[in-house]
Amino acid sequence: MTARLSLAPAAGALADAWSELRVHKLRVLLSLIGIAVAVGALTAVVALGELQRQVMAEQSDRYGGRIATIMVGASRDDGAPMDWDAMDARFERVAERYAFSRTSRIVDGAVTVPVQLPEGVTQLPSRLVDPDYAAMHRLTLLEGRWFVEGDTELLAPPVVISEALWDMIGRVPVAQHPTITMTGDLAGTYQVVGVTPRDGPWDTTPRVDLLYDTYRERLGAMPSDVAVMREIWVPPTIVDELGPVLAMDMRAGAEPGLTISVNRTDWGAQAGFADSALIFQLVTGAIAGIVLLLGALSLINIQLVAMRQRIREIGVRRSFGATSGRIFTSVFLESVVATTVAGAVGIVLVVLVMRSDWVIELMFPGIQDVPPFPFSAAITGLVASVIVGAIAGLIPALVALRVKVIDAIRF
């Protein structure tokens, strides 16, 4: 009972505020459209920021690897040919001590393969990788599968081709086992096991992804003039300590003239990435903030005008025992309740819009992991609407506080 007793004034003030809003629906509605729009905009901005970050992260993952990716490269500065098998052996030796879960050798852009196409044999760019590459670069396929361990044992070695190349060979479904034929050192029939999607409409590169080991076996050894990189996916928590130690281990006992580089290549290591997402959010957030401010101004305006009509009502309430504090709270809460409701409406609308698949597709073509609507965005919107309500409610509430009861009831 005592708890209920102490609740009465708060519950009463809230009930007063709600009833006032209910009675003046039109006035409230008009003043709140701006707030709902502004809060919706603010929420959308925060949510878009999150999505944008996700899209950028995914794009960066495709190029630089996921957080955290370390890349080990090697080169000779004495002109001697590079022995990549020796480098592999060196890495395997060092890696034994680390138990890396995923690593992949990569040769990207330096190798072309002669492929028999309808218009003749064409040198196509190729990417040589290990099976772990797909997981490390968040690669998904349009059709079929990626490489798996043991693919090198197959008589017709598997290849994964780009969508542009798939178009050139007539988009034969992977289930029907399409093949491509190569000539030269790589002569033979290769089974197409998967197709990588285009990065966008601009992506027209016909490309063949081959297993590193398949290529190496066909050629006998990796040519010394290509640059082979090795990527290692490591937990982000230990990447900073691991990098220097790994570099030291890899360089230990290296013959003169051999330079081994160890870098972090994922976007988490690049300050500019976070900055650009932040700038996007700040700019759009500032715009939403201005809209919110304008909404608040119009709300104050309308509330102040309405206050003149409510002086008699306040007088009547005061004469029936409402304390000035209670009147202040009611008028103040009225504004807070109103903007909170408006804000919630704005947030719900934005959530509904942003959850629809075609909006996501339209704004972020190719996004893979659509993150759930960010909770932080909804909370930001809600907090903003409460704050706006508090600011907009303070001035009319102060005016209400100054109403003289005896004058008000004679009005």
Residues of the shown chain interacting with another protein in the complex, contacts defined by CB under 8 A = 1, 4-5, 8-9, 11-12, 15-16, 19, 23-24, 312-313, 316-326, 405-406, 409-410
357, 4 contact by CB (below 8 A) = no
Min separation Cβ 33 and another protein, Å? 21
Pick 165 or 314: Cβ nearer another protein: 314
Pick 24 or 102: Cβ nearer another protein: 24
Pick 12 or 289: Cβ nearer another protein: 12
Min separation Cβ 406 and another protein, Å? 5
Q: What are phi and psi of 173, to 5 degrees?
A: -60, 140
Min separation Cβ 29 and another protein, Å? 15
Question: Which residues, including other chains, have CB under 8 Å from residue 193's CB and lie 6 or more apart?
Answer: 144, 145, 146, 147, 151, 158, 159, 160, 174
- Taking the C-alpha atoms of residue 306 and residue 256, their distance in angstroms, rounded to an integer, is 86
- Taking the C-alpha atoms of residue 223 and residue 220, their distance in angstroms, rounded to an integer, is 9
Pick 112 or 319: Cβ nearer another protein: 319
- Taking the C-alpha atoms of residue 53 and residue 62, their distance in angstroms, rounded to an integer, is 14
Q: What are the tokens at 208?
A: 């063949």
Pick 58 or 334: Cβ nearer another protein: 334
Min separation Cβ 298 and another protein, Å? 22
Min separation Cβ 315 and another protein, Å? 8
Min separation Cβ 300 and another protein, Å? 22
Pick 171 or 404: Cβ nearer another protein: 404
- Region of residue 359 (left: phi > 0; alpha: psi -120 to 50; beta: else): alpha
Pick 167 or 313: Cβ nearer another protein: 313
Pick 27 or 198: Cβ nearer another protein: 27
For tokens 């700040």, name the residue.
Answer: 282
Q: What are the tokens at 257?
A: 């003239």
Pick 51 or 322: Cβ nearer another protein: 322
Pairing outcome for strands 229-233 and 102-117:
antiparallel
Min separation Cβ 320 and another protein, Å? 4
- Taking the C-alpha atoms of residue 6 and residue 387, their distance in angstroms, rounded to an integer, is 25
Min separation Cβ 321 and another protein, Å? 2
Burial 30-60 (b: 16+ CB within 10 A, else e): ebbebbbbbbbbbbbbbbbbbbbbbbbbbeb
Pick 12 or 223: Cβ nearer another protein: 12
Min separation Cβ 389 and another protein, Å? 21
Min separation Cβ 306 and another protein, Å? 12
